[in-house]
Chain A
Amino acid sequence: MHRFANPGRFLRLADRLQPWLVTATMIAFAAGLYYALFHSPADYQQGETVRIMYIHVPAAWMALFAYCTIALASACALIWRHPLADVAAEAASPLGAGFTLIALVSGSLWGKPMWGTFWVWDARLTSFLLLFFLYLGHIALGQAFDDRQRGRRAAAILALVGAINVPIIKFSVDWWNTLHQPASIMRMGGPAIDPSMLVPLLLMAVAFQLFFFAALIARMKAELLSARLRTAMFNRLRAGTAGSAG
């Protein structure tokens, strides 16, 4: 792992991976959306409304996955002081916030026709809203210091503290009674979802996952290159003033 933590090596690897990731993302989205919207059945209870699931569920999964990525990267940054881990955590945060927002909005639009309400303060919905605020806080705190390194350190600590919320979100529907139904896929006794719906759902999950990696790598690359640019400009400026003084 330490071998790939070298920014130069990461940039070379990212350049080679990126076109493949972008192509795979587009293929997975095209296949997943076609399958989900045209080739999967309506639900026996919910009818066509069930198709919201193919956006809502992968977005919610990725919201949690992105947070776990940030927490892990933050731990690596705090313990081993890898500069690349800081960059990864910082780059993943707006992506995770986006996934969380998609899950919240699509869930709200799903809740109105099925449950009869856009929003309730049950344990699942409330803990998920807290996740959104954690993301916003993480983004803001990382940029709140003049010294970038201090901002990243503070944001990493916030990310680790907020990681407590991840199991709370996952198990909220089992620990307390909620309006949100319990887990359909990752539960004891296997998925409670018909294969004709599970396949498009997993396809969409793969598409979201690939998109996350492609976007994460692009954002990390941009940050590393702009850091290089800053250093180069600083060096040139310093050389310029040194030249004029001599």
Chain B
Amino acid sequence: MTRKTRRLYLIVVSLLLLGAAAGLVLNALSDKIVFFFSPTEMVTKPPSAGKVVRLGGLVESGSLHKLDNAGTISFTVTDLKQSVNVNYRGILPDLFREGQGVVVQGSFNNTGQFVAIDVLAKHDEKYMPPEVAKALKASGRWEETASQIGNGQVGNGQAGNNQVGNNQNGSIQ
């Protein structure tokens, strides 16, 4: 074996070992690396009151309404299996609307109500001009993409959108 082949094997083996070590560490830490919890996780393993957590899912259609005149709003975050009701007072991102993916940061209060301190909008990986979205909807092919939500992929952030052009933001603010 020449010195060159020895160096080649040395590098390949050390990279494999390093990759395996990194994989094990990331696997062990995967609970800490996730950015948000799904409503199902929130309902089955509720965090203690006052502990700040992130909740991610879709804003349920028809759930968005004003709570008072001071600007507090209420909406439901769902993964189509479980849902959590959220109260929030503050600025909403442009993409926030019913049917849209959302990540809210906040905590459960003593009465079990989730109170958000920050709301972030999450969008999916699809990009298209408005006419194409409209045409897909008109031809009925839009449902195929929207049906991805039903496969339980919402928690993985594959939030689809079936509320194109139905921005109810204006009526709230």
Listed in ascending order, the chain A residues whose CB lies under 8 Å from chain B are 41-46, 50, 53, 75, 78-80, 113-117, 120, 122-123, 160-161, 163-164, 168, 173-179, 181-184, 187, 192-194, 196-197
Contact = CB atoms under 8 A, between A and B. Distances in A.
Contacts of A174: 156
B149 to A, nearest CB: 14
Interface stretch (B45-53, B66-74, B106-114, B121-129): B121-129
Of B93, B125, B132, B155, most buried by chain A (CB within 10 Å of CB) is: B125
A53 B125 CA distance: 12
Given A163-B15, A177-B56, A177-B157, A184 B35 contact: no
A174 B33 CA distance: 12
B147 to A, nearest CB: 14
B119 interface: yes
Contact of A44 (B33, B34, B129): B129
Given A164-B19, A176-B34, A179-B35, A196 B93 contact: no
Contacts of B161: 45
B120 A161 contact: no
A177 B34 contact: yes
Given A178-B157, A181-B157, A43 B128 contact: yes
Contacts of B130: 41-44
Contacts of A42: 129-130
Contacts of B93: 113-117
Please classify the interface of chain B as helix (H, G, I), strand (E, B), loop, or mixed, using the class held by over half of its residues. mixed
A46 B122 CA distance: 11
B11 A193 contact: no
Nearest to A43: B127
B121 A116 contact: yes
A65 B26 CA distance: 23
B121 A114 contact: yes
Contacts of A168: 22, 26
A160 B133 CA distance: 44
20 contacts: A42-B130, A46-B123, A114-B94, A115-B95, A116-B95, A117-B93, A117-B120, A123-B33, A123-B34, A123-B35, A175-B26, A175-B33, A176-B34, A177-B35, A179-B122, A181-B124, A192-B125, A193-B126, A193-B128, A197-B129
Given A46-B95, A115-B95, A182-B125, 6 more contacts: A44-B133, A79-B7, A177-B34, A177-B157, A181-B122, A184-B126
Contact of A178 (B15, B26, B35, B123): B35
Given A44-B130, A193-B126, A194-B132, A115 B121 contact: yes
B129 A122 contact: no
B103 interface: yes
Interface string B12-39: 0001001100100010001001111010
B125 A50 contact: no
Contacts of A50: 127
B8 interface: yes
A44 B134 CA distance: 9
Contacts of A43: 127-130
Contacts of A123: 33-35
